[in-house]
Amino acid sequence: MNKQYILIIIFLIISLFIYLFYRTEKTLINEIFISLTSMQAYSGLKSAIVYEVPLNNLVIYSLPEGLWMFCITLTSKPYYICLGRLRISGIYIPLIICLSLEMLQLLHFTNGRFDIMDVSTFLLFWFLGIYYPYEGGKKQNILTTYDMKTILCLVSYSIVYFAHVIE
């Protein structure tokens, strides 16, 4: 496993840690964690961690999205997607998705709150992901390529579902 994928795993673990212990317990990942342990165990662990490792709101509410954006940008680099005759480089797909999600929040079509700081954070991490050295060969169509890199890329995108707030 190369250093790029190790970095991706570390960033996703940091995001998971923040979501588990600093965000609402109504997110899907927290609901899963609570069902695997108990509300009492979760609450005790969360209280201890928040007390011992205080984080500011920027880290709690914007950093996980930035780290996720960096990860999906890196995992999307070796790919493109074709829409009819249009060929879109994989590095633009994360930007399109994140901007779309923020717009859906702004228009109240989905849970969450539009936040310009989130937009600024994911733009910064998108640029960092674009300029992070790419260690790969020829770009491939993500819809016709099936290997471990493709699976990691698609899993990276699906992680946003686990951050979804259950109502």
- Dihedral sign for Cα atoms in the order 37, 41, 46, 48: negative
24: which residues sit within 8 A by CB, 6+ positions away?
30, 165
Q: Is the pLDDT of residue 156 over 90?
A: no
- Residue of 60, 25, 52, 55 whose CA lies nearest to 40: 25
Q: Please give the Cα distance from 52 to 99 (Å, whole number).
A: 34
| Residue 54, phi then psi, degrees to nearest 5 | -70, 135
pLDDT for the residue numbered 164? 62
Mean pLDDT for 80-86 is: 90
C-alpha separations of 109 from 64, 101, 143 in Å:
22, 9, 28
**pTM for this predicted structure:** 0.86
pLDDT tens figures, 1-58: 588 888 988 999 999 999 999 998 888 889 999 999 999 999 999 999 999 999 999 9
Give the distance, in angstroms, between the CA of residue 91 and the centroid of all CA atoms in the same chain.
Answer: 14
61: which residues sit within 8 A by CB, 6+ positions away?
23, 115, 117, 118
Q: Is the pLDDT of residue 153 over 80?
A: yes
Where are the extended beta strands (E) located within 1-151?
79-83, 86-89, 140-141
Average pLDDT over the chain reads 88
pLDDT for the residue numbered 138? 78
3-state SS class at 77 = coil
pLDDT for the residue numbered 115? 85
- Residue of 99, 71, 89 whose CA lies nearest to 159: 71
pLDDT for the residue numbered 15? 93
